[in-house]
Amino acid sequence: MDDNDVGRVLIIAGSDSGGGAGIQADIKTCAALGAYAATAITAVTAQNTLGVQKVEALSVDMVRAQIRSVLDDIGADVIKIGMLANEEIIRAVADEVKDEQAYVVLDPVMVATSGDKLLEDGAVRALKELLIPISDVITPNVPEAKILTGIEIDDVDDLGKAGQVLIDLGAYAAVMKGGHLDGSMVVDMLVSEDENAVMTAPRIRSKHTHGTGCTLASAIAASMALGAPLDEAVNTAREFVFEAIRSAPGLGQGNGPLNHGLILPDTDGGDDDPAASNPFAALKELKN
């Protein structure tokens, strides 16, 4: 990481026209947490709360050009990778970021909240072989973890087993999201080379959960870019997502977006607070 006062996150992901997930959710999350977001868009989707109507991947050359344009000038402390659409883009992204001195947070986006597929079948192998080994953190949900590891996941023990497979594939840590498991509590697990930590939170019964995966991964990336250690970044991200679901604006007829403009109760805005002088922390001063 560079020695500067602004945490820089390069987001490599797809665009969501509805604004609830993808690049749009990523930018809003980084801004809310006080980090600077730059982007490399991999695909454009026609999408709303009811589903994905159309997907068009950008050319590999354009994806590469965006990444290089940002890294050669602004740089990045953390590179957050989301929707990649196809194998060619996966290979290009891996090639462009593998030697960068930045943390890599990989959200292995394969299926939208609506159930629509966002990653071609042939690209899964490339993701496993090229991106997982260069990832500092991977954040799969249960269906994604099952695809990546082949393990049936029915409980928290299975989360740990699948997480260990991802570590064996080369990731430093895995945030195993248990939201798809049954129960009144949401159970997640942080699996790393150092420890397995189980984290729980009350389940919010809401249909307004579009973009939760993108938001969590970007919140982790933003917190890490601002200097937080991994466990603290994960806890901050989980708190952010919980509050963003709880206070969701209720937009749309289907799976609606979260409230990305909320304030976490982590600062009083005093002179000793580094966020007080951060020009990208403006959303922290807004009131719900």
User: Catalytic annotation on 22?
Assistant: no
User: Catalytic annotation on 139?
Assistant: no
- Among the options 39, 113, 149, 209, which is catalytic? 209
User: Catalytic annotation on 212?
Assistant: yes
- Among the options 213, 215, 256, 284, which is catalytic? 213
* CB contact at 8 A, 150 and 140: no
User: Catalytic annotation on 42?
Assistant: no
Q: What's the token pair of residue 108?
A: 């292995």
Rounded CA-CA distance 32/43 in Å is 24
Rounded CA-CA distance 138/191 in Å is 10
Q: What's the token pair of residue 260?
A: 């990305």
- Among the options 39, 212, 215, 236, which is catalytic? 212
- 90 CB-side CA count, 13 A: 26
* CB contact at 8 A, 174 and 163: yes
Rounded CA-CA distance 19/253 in Å is 14
- Among the options 28, 80, 128, 177, which is catalytic? 177
Rounded CA-CA distance 8/221 in Å is 9
Rounded CA-CA distance 286/51 in Å is 31
- Bridge-based pairing of strands 103-106 and 8-16 is unpaired
User: Catalytic annotation on 161?
Assistant: no
- Among the options 22, 211, 236, 284, which is catalytic? 211
- Among the options 14, 22, 214, 215, which is catalytic? 214
User: Catalytic annotation on 170?
Assistant: no
Distance of CA 164 to the CA centre of its chain: 20
* CB contact at 8 A, 38 and 8: yes
Rounded CA-CA distance 25/260 in Å is 7
The strand pairing partners of 47, in sequence order, are 52
Residues annotated as catalytic are: 177, 209, 211-214
